[in-house]
């Protein structure tokens, strides 16, 4: 690396990045089963993006489901309160 621009006082090391990427990889369902060093940073990042999108979509779907459920039960019931607390 010919030029290193450090932002502020902290310089981010490559090792740091590698460690974070491996941590991220452990969270990913698809990449977790393989040996961690197999996945490249690019792949891990890509999978993370996809996974985050999937999770968000899932959360939205679940929210919809819960709202629908909420409409089917009495608002006074404890379930309703539970559901409400689940729905963001």
Contact call for residue 67 and other proteins (CB under 8 A) = no
Question: For tokens 């999108």, what's the residue?
Answer: 53
Q: How many CB atoms lie within 10 A of CB 46?
A: 12
Q: Which long-range contacts (CB under 8 A, 24 or more apart) does 57-64 make?
A: 59/88, 62/86, 63/87, 63/88
Contact call for residue 34 and other proteins (CB under 8 A) = no
User: How many of the chain's residues bind other proteins (CB under 8 A)?
Assistant: 48
Contact call for residue 30 and other proteins (CB under 8 A) = no
Q: Which is nearer to other proteins, 34 or 65 (CB)?
A: 65
Chosen residue from 17, 30, 34, 71 binding other proteins by CB under 8 A: 17
């Amino acid at each position: 690396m010919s030029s290193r621009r450090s932002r502020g006082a902290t310089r981010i090391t490559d090792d740091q990045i590698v460690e974070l990427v491996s941590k991220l990889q452990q969270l990913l369902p698809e990449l977790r089963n393989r040996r961690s060093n197999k996945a490249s940073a690019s792949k891990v990042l890509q999978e993370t993006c996809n996974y985050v999108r999937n999770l968000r979509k899932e959360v939205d779907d679940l929210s919809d489901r819960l709202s629908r459920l909420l409409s089917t039960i009495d608002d006074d019931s404890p379930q309703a309160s539970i559901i409400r607390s689940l729905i963001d």
